[in-house]
Structure 1
Amino acid sequence: MKRVIIGLSGGVDSSVAAYLLKEQGYEVIGLFMKNWHDDSVTISNECPWLDDSNDAMLVAEKLGIPFQTVDLSEQYKERIVDYMFNEYEKGRTPNPDVLCNREIKFDVFMKIALDLGADYVATGHYCRKGTIEKDGAETYQLLAGVDGNKDQSYFLCQLSQEQLAKSLFPIGELTKPEVREIATKLDLVTADKKDSQGLCFIGKVKLPDFLQQQLKPKEGVIVEIPNNFENYNQDVPDFSSEEESLAFLSQKQHYQIADGKVVGKHQGAHYFTKGQRKGLGIGGTVEPLFVIDTDVEENVIYTGQGKEHPGLYKKALFVTNQELHWVREDLALADGETMDVKARIRYRQALETATLHKVENGLYVTFDNKQSAITEGQFVAWYLEDELIGSGVIS
């Protein structure tokens, strides 16, 4: 019997995943990861880790599998929380869920599991793993989950071949209603449990409160940029190369306070992110204000009215070589090569038609349609059909 250690999170997805593995004849061990101690920044009782670990233990008892808790809070603080503070401070918006999978579940946790003699690590993610023979060796594919509504391949976009080789995703072929149905039939305590929201493992967090632990409040102004700002309508210059044209399409719009009018105050530009609408505290505009840019150096937030504001839209983005990752290393582009793909810049976004352009210092992604709120620090992931083949941090 092959041994599988499953990350039991206390949710319905990992509960059913554990059951399915047992049915498939694996020796299954449940491990709960405790990654957070500080309840002072979580909102009410949404998803405190104690309830979750208790539910995970009850599920393990019901399924008759061994169960234990591992404390990874030190590594979590170091690799996820400190990274988040650092990114926000730089005016970027990180994605803790993607990082948590890369750094914690499929790295720290996976090493612990393999030390415990596991052949595989399993999670309750809605995605699938494929295996193909290529050049006499096995190559692993990260495939979208069958449930298009719940597909979580995006969150695993930073996994490597080594990590995929040791991973199992038992519920990838199922839809969420099917998973709940199985849990109900088995009378599992998690059958009707709401999906956890908010930060990976921390639960719902008041983000400013959370960030204020490290990033001090600092009053600044909120500026509204008009829809007819002159820079939005500038003529496209003639370019001597395609790379110049790509650089132009992906470049960030630079604003100054004089470009618009001051409409309010804020407590720190680093608490805000592009595309954000809530938390500005400004009324009286015809359409709601959206954040179109933040300047953490000058501590200014730039906003525009309405979700169609031209300041929100761009056709291209850039990923540096340092932050470029290929799940399928065999498909990696060489400098000068291009590839037609489908791509997304956030979880739950429908896949958009795009083209990858590899250049010497990184990779441009150009979209057929302009994208709203392309945000530095977030991940862009690209697919061929239903296979996620690579990703990168938007720079």
Structure 2
Amino acid sequence: MKRVVVGLSGGVDSSVAAYLLKEQGYEVIGLFMKNWHDDSVTISNECPWLEDSNDALLVAQKLGIPFQTVDLSEQYKEKIVDYMFSEYEKGRTPNPDVLCNREIKFDVFMKIALSLGADYVATGHYCRKGEIEVDGKPMYQLLSGVDDNKDQSYFLCQLSQDQLAKSLFPIGALTKPEVREIAAKMELITAEKKDSQGLCFIGKVRLPEFLQQQLQPKDGLIFEVDADNAIYDQKTVNFDSIEEKLAFEAANIQYTPEVAKVVGKHQGAHYFTIGQRKGLNVGGTKEALFIIATDVATNTIYTGQGHSHPGLFKKALFVANDEIHWIRPDLALSNGQKMEVMARIRYRQELQKATLHQFENGMYVAFDAAQSAITQGQFVSWHIGDELIGSGVIS
């Protein structure tokens, strides 16, 4: 019997994952990760870890599997929270859920599981694992979940072959309603439980308050740039190379107060992100204001009216070499190579047609259609069919 450690989060997905593994004849151990102690920044009772750990314990008892709690709050603070603060300070927008999977669940947690003699670690993610042979060796694939509405492969876009080799995703071939149905049939306490929202494991956090613990408020100005400003006039430029053209398409427009008008004040450019509409507290405009750029050096925010404002759109993005990650190393591009893929720049975005271009200093992802709110610090993932083959941090 192979031994599997399941990350029991106290939610319905991981509960059913544990049940299915037990049905398949694995020796199952439930482990709850406690990653956060500070209740002062979570919105009351939205996702208190205590209730979650109790639910996880009750599920383990119901299934008749051993259960324990591991406290990873120190590692979580160091690898996720501190990283988030430093990224926001630089004016980038990190994705804590992707990092949490790479650094905590499939690294720190996986090492604990393997030290307990586990052959595998399982989670309640909606994705699937495939296995093929490349040059006589097994190669693992990260495949999308069958439930299009819940596919979570994007959150695992930074996993390695070593991590995938030891991972199981028992509910990847099921839809959410099917998972709830199994939980109800087994009378699991989590059957009707709402999905948790907010930061991976911290719960529903008031992000500005959370960031204010570390990043001091600084008064600054909010500018509005008109949609028909001359800065958006597409001049025809002749480029000497495809690399030059892509660099031009991926570059951020450099806004200055001269091209805009002051419409309000804010408490710190580092609290805001491209494409954001809420929290600006500026009224009186015909259409909603969207953030089109932030400048943490000058503590300035630039906005534009409406979700089709030209300042929101770009056709390409850049990923520096040290931020490129191939789940399928056998498919990695060499300098000068390109590849047609489908890509997405955020969770739940529909896959977009794109071409990867690898150059000496990094990779450009060029989209067939201009994309709204490409955000520094977020992850872009690239796919062939239903397989996620790689990802990178947007720079």
> What pairs up with 1:344-355 in 2 under 5 angstroms?
344-355=344-355
Structure 1: which amino acid aligns with 2:115?
D
Once residues 292 and 235 of structure 1 are traced to their aligned partners in structure 2, the CA distance between those partners, rounded to angstroms, is 20
Matched residue, 1:83: 83
Matched residue, 1:368: 368
Matched residue, 2:50: 50
- Residue 159 of structure 1: SS of its match in structure 2? coil
Question: How far does residue 143 in structure 1 lie from its aligned partner after superposition?
Answer: 0.2
| Length-normalised TM-score, structure 2 | 1.00
Matched residue, 2:8: 8
Matched residue, 1:73: 73
| Length-normalised TM-score, structure 1 | 1.00
Matched residue, 2:61: 61
Once residues 196 and 253 of structure 2 are traced to their aligned partners in structure 1, the CA distance between those partners, rounded to angstroms, is 36
Matched residue, 1:117: 117
Once residues 147 and 337 of structure 2 are traced to their aligned partners in structure 1, the CA distance between those partners, rounded to angstroms, is 33
> What pairs up with 1:367-386 in 2 under 5 angstroms?
367-386=367-386
Question: Cα deviations across residues 7-66 of structure 1 (Å, max 9, x unaligned)?
Answer: 000000000000000000000000000000000000121111001001000000000000
Matched residue, 1:332: 332
Question: How far does residue 231 in structure 1 lie from its aligned partner after superposition?
Answer: 1.5
- Residue 79 of structure 2: SS of its match in structure 1? helix
Structure 2: which amino acid aligns with 1:30?
G
Once residues 268 and 45 of structure 1 are traced to their aligned partners in structure 2, the CA distance between those partners, rounded to angstroms, is 28
Once residues 90 and 187 of structure 2 are traced to their aligned partners in structure 1, the CA distance between those partners, rounded to angstroms, is 47
Once residues 212 and 280 of structure 1 are traced to their aligned partners in structure 2, the CA distance between those partners, rounded to angstroms, is 16
Question: Cα deviations across residues 242-299 of structure 1 (Å, max 9, x unaligned)?
Answer: 1000100100111011111000000000000000000000111000000111000000
Once residues 236 and 201 of structure 1 are traced to their aligned partners in structure 2, the CA distance between those partners, rounded to angstroms, is 49
- Residue 65 of structure 1: SS of its match in structure 2? coil
Whether 1:359 aligns to 2:351 is no
> What pairs up with 1:305-324 in 2 under 5 angstroms?
305-324=305-324
Once residues 154 and 26 of structure 2 are traced to their aligned partners in structure 1, the CA distance between those partners, rounded to angstroms, is 27
Structure 1: which amino acid aligns with 2:334?
A
Question: How far does residue 93 in structure 1 lie from its aligned partner after superposition?
Answer: 0.1
Structure 2 residue runs of 5 or longer lacking an equivalent are none
Question: How far does residue 350 in structure 1 lie from its aligned partner after superposition?
Answer: 0.3
Matched residue, 2:94: 94
- Residue 129 of structure 1: SS of its match in structure 2? strand
Matched residue, 1:235: 235
Whether 1:27 aligns to 2:27 is yes
Matched residue, 2:213: 213
- Residue 111 of structure 2: SS of its match in structure 1? helix
Once residues 364 and 51 of structure 1 are traced to their aligned partners in structure 2, the CA distance between those partners, rounded to angstroms, is 45
- Residue 107 of structure 2: SS of its match in structure 1? helix
Whether 1:284 aligns to 2:290 is no
Structure 1 residue runs of 5 or longer lacking an equivalent are none
> What pairs up with 1:165-314 in 2 under 5 angstroms?
165-314=165-314
Once residues 369 and 124 of structure 1 are traced to their aligned partners in structure 2, the CA distance between those partners, rounded to angstroms, is 34
The number of residues matched between the two structures is: 395
Structure 2: which amino acid aligns with 1:300?
T
Structure 2: which amino acid aligns with 1:213?
Q
Once residues 7 and 341 of structure 1 are traced to their aligned partners in structure 2, the CA distance between those partners, rounded to angstroms, is 32
Structure 2: which amino acid aligns with 1:383?
H
Question: How far does residue 236 in structure 1 lie from its aligned partner after superposition?
Answer: 3.0
Once residues 277 and 54 of structure 1 are traced to their aligned partners in structure 2, the CA distance between those partners, rounded to angstroms, is 37
Once residues 247 and 147 of structure 1 are traced to their aligned partners in structure 2, the CA distance between those partners, rounded to angstroms, is 37
- Residue 30 of structure 1: SS of its match in structure 2? strand
Structure 2: which amino acid aligns with 1:364?
Y
Matched residue, 2:106: 106
Moved over 6 A (4+): none
Once residues 94 and 25 of structure 2 are traced to their aligned partners in structure 1, the CA distance between those partners, rounded to angstroms, is 39
Once residues 29 and 319 of structure 2 are traced to their aligned partners in structure 1, the CA distance between those partners, rounded to angstroms, is 39
- Residue 255 of structure 1: SS of its match in structure 2? coil
Question: Cα deviations across residues 293-317 of structure 1 (Å, max 9, x unaligned)?
Answer: 1000000010000000000000000
Question: How far does residue 234 in structure 1 lie from its aligned partner after superposition?
Answer: 3.4
Matched residue, 1:38: 38
Once residues 118 and 277 of structure 2 are traced to their aligned partners in structure 1, the CA distance between those partners, rounded to angstroms, is 45
Question: Cα deviations across residues 79-108 of structure 1 (Å, max 9, x unaligned)?
Answer: 000000000000000000000000000000
RMSD, aligned α-carbons: 0.5
- Residue 17 of structure 1: SS of its match in structure 2? helix
Once residues 41 and 360 of structure 2 are traced to their aligned partners in structure 1, the CA distance between those partners, rounded to angstroms, is 43
Once residues 381 and 209 of structure 1 are traced to their aligned partners in structure 2, the CA distance between those partners, rounded to angstroms, is 30
Structure 1: which amino acid aligns with 2:385?
E
- Residue 294 of structure 1: SS of its match in structure 2? strand
Question: Cα deviations across residues 132-152 of structure 1 (Å, max 9, x unaligned)?
Answer: 011110000000000000000
Once residues 196 and 83 of structure 1 are traced to their aligned partners in structure 2, the CA distance between those partners, rounded to angstroms, is 22
